[in-house]
C-alpha cells in the first residue's frame, strides 16, 4: 500500500468496497435481528486475533506519538560524531546513526510526525472525497458527470509524479518551517487521493438511494439534506471507514516515500521517512540505520492494514 501507485490501491479498495455494498443490502433484508450492524460488528471484531494484534500495535504507536518521553529519556536530537554508526549495544538498543544520534530515541520521537501526516491526510481525504461522493451519488445527472470527470483528472495523475510536482510548486523559496512542510505533504496526499474515496462514497450512495426506506422518506416529503444526512450517510459510511483505515497506513508509507525522495519532511523534523532517507548513503556500512525505522514503519502500516481488513470482514456478513 505504500506504493505510490494509489491508482492500484484505489482499484483494490473500490472493488472490495463494492463487495461490501452488496453485502449491506443483505443485512437490511435480515430484519428482526436483535443487534444493530455496528454492535454486531463490534462483537465479531473482539474475537478476531487479527484485530486484537493490530489494535494493540496501533495503541502503542499512538502512545509513542503522544508521549514519547514514556519510552525513552534520550534526546533524539543530540548527536555525537564520536559514536557515529555504532552498532546496537546495551546503551543504545538500536545503535547510532550517521550523525551519532540514538536511533531508538529517534524512532520513538519519529512516530509523531508520521502519525500526524497519516491521520490528518486521511481525515482530509475522507472529508473531501466523502462529501463530493455523497453529492454526486445523491444528485446524479450533470453534477455527477462533472465531479466524476474532475475525479478522473486527479485519478489519472500518477501519484508520485503528482506529489513531486505539487510539493515542488508550492514550496516557497527560502527556508520553510517544519509545520509548513508538513502541511504541504498532507495537502498533496489529500489532493491526489480524494477521488478514490469519492468513488467509494458515490457507489455506496447510489446503492443507498435505491433502498426502499430512502424512497419512503422522500415520499414522506423529507428534505434533501435530511435524506443525505440521516439516511444515506450512515449507510454509506461503512465502506469509507474501511477505506480510511487502510489508507491511513498507506499515507504513512507515502510520507516516507516522499521524504525519501527529498521532497517530503526533513530535518529538524524527525520522522521515519526522514530517518530512512538519511540512512541511504550508509546502508551498506551500517544497515541498522535503515532497519529500525523501516521496521517501525512497516509494522505501523501493517497494523492499520490489518485493522482495515478485520473491520471489513466484521462488517461483511458474507465473510463470516
Partner 1 sequence: MRKPRWIAASAMSLALALTLTACGGDSENSGGGNGSTGSGGGSTADPDGALSAFGTEPENPLVPGNTNETGGSKVVRALFTGLTTYDPVTGESKNAMAQEIKTTDSKVYTIKIQAGWKFHDGTDVKAKNFVDAWNYTAYSPNGQQNGSFFEQVQGYKDVHTEDPDGTAGPQKAPQPTTDKMSGLKVVDDTTFEVTLASPFAVFPLKLGYNPFFPLPDSFFSDPKAFEAKPIGNGPFKFVSRKPNTEIKLTRNDDYKGADKAKFKDLTFKIYESNEAAYASVVSGDLDFLDTVPPTGIAGGKYKQDLEGRNGSTPYMGNQTVTFPLYDPTYQNPDLRKAISLAIDRKSIVDKIFDGTRIPADGWVNPAVPGYAKDQCGELCVYNPEKAKEYLAKSGFKGAIKFSTNADGGHKDWMTATCNSIKNALGIECTYEPIPTFAETRQQINGRKMTAIFRSGWIADYPSIENFLNQIYRTGASSNDGEYTNPKLDELLTKADAAPSVDEANKLYQEAERLLRDDMPVIPLWNQTAQYGWSERLDNARLSSLRELDLTTVTVKKK
Partner 2 sequence: MGRYVLRRLLQLVPVFIGTTFLIYWLVWSLPGDRFAGKCGERPCEPAYIAKMTEKFNLDDPLIVQYGKYMLNLLQGDFGITSKEVSVGELIANAYPNTLRLAVVALLIEAVIGLAAGILTGLRGRGFLDNLVLVSTLFLISLPVFVTGFVLQIVLGFELHWIKTTVSASPAPWGHLIAPGFVLGSLSMAYVTRLTRTSIAENKRADFVRTAVAKGLPQRRVVGVHLLRNSAIPVVTFLGTDLGALMGGAIVTEGIFDIKGIGNLVYDGILGKDGAAVTGVVTLLVIVYLISNLLVDLLYAVLDPRIRYD
Residue ranges binding partner 2 (CB under 8 A): 1-8, 11-12, 15-16, 19, 149-150, 152-153, 156-161, 164-166, 168-169, 171-173, 249, 253, 256-257, 260-261, 276, 280, 283-284, 290, 294, 297-299, 301-302, 305-306, 309, 318
∠ CA 237-129-263, nearest 5°, is: 130
Asked if 261 touches partner 1 (CB under 8 A), the answer is: yes
Strand partners, 102: 96
Residues 95-114 that bind partner 1 (CB under 8 A): 98-100
Q: Of the listed pieces 17-25, 56-64, 75-83, 209-217, which binds partner 1 according to CB under 8 A?
A: 75-83
**Whole-angstrom Cα distance, residue 228 to residue 282?**
55
79 SS3 class: strand
Q: How far is CA 229 from CA 130, 198, 208, 226, in A?
A: 12, 16, 12, 5
Q: Give me the least distance between CB of 83 and partner 2, in Å please.
A: 24
**Closest CA relative to residue 168, chosen from 263, 269, 266:** 263
The single residue among 25, 28, 80, 180 that binds partner 1, judged by CB under 8 A, is 80
Residue 25 neighbours by CB distance under 10 Å: 13
Interface with partner 1, residue 174, by CB under 8 A: yes
Nearer to partner 2, 238 or 297 (CB): 297
Residue number with CB closer to partner 1 (70 or 81) = 81
Q: According to the binding rule CB under 8 A, does residue 148 interact with partner 1?
A: no
* Count of residues making up the chain: 320
Q: Least distance (Å) from partner 2 to the CB of residue 229?
A: 31
Burial class (CB in 10 A: 0-12, 13-18, 19+), 14: middle
Q: Is 239:196 a contact under the CB 8 Å cutoff? A: no
Binding site for partner 1 (CB under 8 A): 78-82, 84-85, 98-100, 171, 173-175, 260-262, 266-268, 277, 280-286
Amino acid at each position: 500500500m505504500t506504493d505510490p501507485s494509489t491508482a492500484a490501491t484505489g482499484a483494490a479498495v473500490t472493488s472490495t468496497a463494492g463487495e461490501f455494498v452488496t453485502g449491506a443490502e443483505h443485512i437490511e433484508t435480515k430484519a428482526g435481528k436483535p443487534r444493530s450492524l455496528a454492535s454486531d460488528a463490534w462483537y465479531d471484531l473482539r474475537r478476531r486475533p487479527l484485530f486484537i494484534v493490530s489494535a494493540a500495535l496501533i495503541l502503542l504507536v499512538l502512545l509513542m506519538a503522544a508521549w514519547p518521553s514514556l519510552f525513552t529519556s534520550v534526546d533524539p536530537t543530540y548527536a555525537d560524531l564520536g559514536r557515529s554508526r555504532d552498532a546496537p549495544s546495551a546503551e543504545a538498543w538500536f545503535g547510532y546513526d550517521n550523525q551519532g544520534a540514538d536511533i531508538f530515541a529517534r524512532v520513538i520521537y519519529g512516530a509523531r510526525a508520521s502519525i500526524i501526516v497519516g491521520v490528518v491526510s486521511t481525515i482530509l481525504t475522507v472529508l473531501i472525497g466523502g462529501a463530493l461522493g455523497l453529492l454526486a451519488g445523491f444528485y446524479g445527472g450533470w453534477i455527477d458527470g462533472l465531479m466524476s470527470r474532475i475525479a478522473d483528472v486527479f485519478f489519472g495523475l500518477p501519484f508520485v509524479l503528482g506529489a513531486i510536482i505539487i510539493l515542488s510548486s508550492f514550496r516557497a523559496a527560502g527556508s520553510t518551517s517544519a509545520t509548513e512542510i508538513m502541511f504541504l505533504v498532507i495537502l498533496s496526499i489529500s489532493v491526489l487521493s480524494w477521488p478514490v474515496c469519492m468513488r467509494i462514497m458515490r457507489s455506496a450512495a447510489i446503492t443507498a438511494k435505491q433502498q426502499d426506506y430512502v424512497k419512503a422518506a422522500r415520499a414522506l416529503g423529507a428534505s434533501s439534506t435530511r435524506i443525505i444526512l440521516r439516511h444515506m450517510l450512515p449507510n454509506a459510511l461503512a465502506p469509507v471507514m474501511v477505506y480510511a483505515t487502510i489508507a491511513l497506513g498507506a499515507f504513512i508509507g507515502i510520507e516516507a516515500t516522499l521524504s525519501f525522495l527529498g521532497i517530503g519532511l526533513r530535518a529538524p523534523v524527525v520522522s521515519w521517512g526522514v530517518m530512512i532517507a538519511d540512512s541511504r548513503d550508509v546502508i551498506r556500512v551500517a544497515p541498522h540505520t535503515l532497519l529500525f525505522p523501516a521496521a517501525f514503519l512497516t509494522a505501523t502500516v501493517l497494523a492499520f492494514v490489518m485493522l482495515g481488513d478485520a473491520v471489513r470482514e466484521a462488517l461483511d456478513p458474507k465473510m463470516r
